[in-house]
Structure 1
Amino acid sequence: MLTDMPSDRLDALIRHPFHRETGERLVGFIRDLRECRMPQDYVAFQQDLLYATLAASEARAERSRVAKRLRKGQRLPADAPDLVIGDPHDLDAWRLELDVLERVGRQLRSIGDALAWQAFRYDRRYILALRRNESPGPMTLSKDGTKHEIGFAEEQWREHRQFALLHDLTDCLRIGDVSVFGKPDQNDEQDILLYELKTNPKRRDIRQLKRTRMTAEALREGGPLPGGDNARLIDTGVPYATHLSALGDAFAHAHRDGLKTMRVPGQRGLLTLDIPAAGSKWEQKEANRQFDAQYAALLRRTRLSGRRVCYGSGDSAARNFLTAPWGIYPLQPAQCAGLIADMLVFTVTMSADNFVEELRQTGLNARWILPEGAEIGSEHPLVEIDGHGHRLRVGCAEIERLLLELTDVPTWAEGIDRMLQKLGKAESRCQPWPCFTDEYRVWA
Structure 2
Amino acid sequence: MENLCAGLIEQIQAHKLSPHSAITHFDMDVPMAVPLLAWLKAQESYPQFYLNYRDEPMTVAAIGKVRAFSDENLAQQFVLTHDCSLVGGLTFDKQAHFWLPRLFVQCQGNRWSVQVYWDNQQDFSSEQQACLQAVKTLQNFTALQPLKQVIRKQSSKASESMWAHWITQALQEIEQGHLSKVVLANQTDFVATQPIDAKDFLAESERQNTGCYHFLYAEQAEQAFVGSSPERLYARQGDEVQTEALAGTATIGDNPAHNQQQADWLLHDSKNDHENRLVVQGICDNLAPYVKHIHVADVEVKPLRQVQHLRRAIHAELSVPMADFVCLQAIHPTAAVSGLPQQSAVQFLQKTENFDRAWYAGTLGVMCQERAEFCVTIRSAMIEQEKISVFAGAGIVAGSDPQLEWQEIERKASSLLSLLTIES
- Confirm or deny a common fold (TM above 0.5): no
Q: Which has the larger radius of gyration?
A: 1
- Under TM normalisation by the shorter chain, which class is it? under 0.3
Relative to the length of structure 2, the TM-score reads 0.27
Relative to the length of structure 1, the TM-score reads 0.26
Please identify which structure carries the higher strand content.
Answer: 2
Please identify which structure carries the higher helix content.
Answer: 1
